Structure 1
Amino acid sequence: MSQANACFPGLRLEQGSAYENLFAQYGSFPVVISLEVVAHVYFPRRWASTLFALVEQGGTAIVSTPYHGYWKNLAMAVTGKMDGHFSVLWDHDHIKFWSVDTLDRLLREAGFGDIRLRRVERIPALAKSMVAIARK
């Protein structure tokens, strides 16, 4: 954080946890971006609730996470790539694996609507990541 603040002294940068009441600390915003976070949280519903609280009414949340769907997982299994991709030996790596359906369901449970999900990088069935744009 100190390096980021040194590089961008005119920009207010803060650090917090999705498990804290960030709304009480910072208020809400017209746009909240959460990139490559949800795959690393133990309690995704708490993360989604915090995200929802941080987005002002009528605002937008932008979320990205690695994509995992049937065809991609099947391709990894057939090619012997599952152990390398889902390695249990990595510390602090992905602990949740999201599909379009599961991310959509999580965001809807939190209260978001008008959710648009796009798979990105590579062909859709084997996409590397996905991006969700959700309205409050």
Structure 2
Amino acid sequence: MTDPRAEFLAGERLDDVALFLAESYVSDDRLEEFGERVDGGVVIVVDGERGRNAFRAATGTDAMAFAQSAMALEGLVDSDLAGGQCPEAPTDEDEHAVQFVFAFAEERNEDAGGIYAEGDVVHAYARCRCGTSYSDRWTVLDSA
């Protein structure tokens, strides 16, 4: 038995993407067949192409276009990918709950410098219930 989310967060699934879909955003019990039930939703880890297609099907948004737009604002995405802190919210209020997260990991790249030279990097992009999209990133070592 494997734990896809733990493997993803450990940098062992660099070709995969992770999706968190809040139950308040997508109410489809079938999602549990593909992912892990967590407090408030489901985390799904699948190969990149299937993940991007699943993201589009669940959110109506192209995953890479969403990531591109979310990069404009930094926020905090939980290291377990199942939530975050909207940069527009003074506290973790209900109207600022995460609706969904899209994440991928990038292999360590010493030539790029900075955080990328330290280890594999998780890139996470979130959409808040208020409509704000934001991004976060961290090294796999930081989330261990």
Greater strand fraction, Structure 1 or Structure 2? 2
Query: Which structure is larger by alpha-carbon Rg, 1 or 2?
Result: 1
Asked if TM exceeds 0.5, the reply is: no
Using structure 2 for the length normalisation, give the TM-score: 0.24
Using structure 1 for the length normalisation, give the TM-score: 0.25
Greater helix fraction, Structure 1 or Structure 2? 1
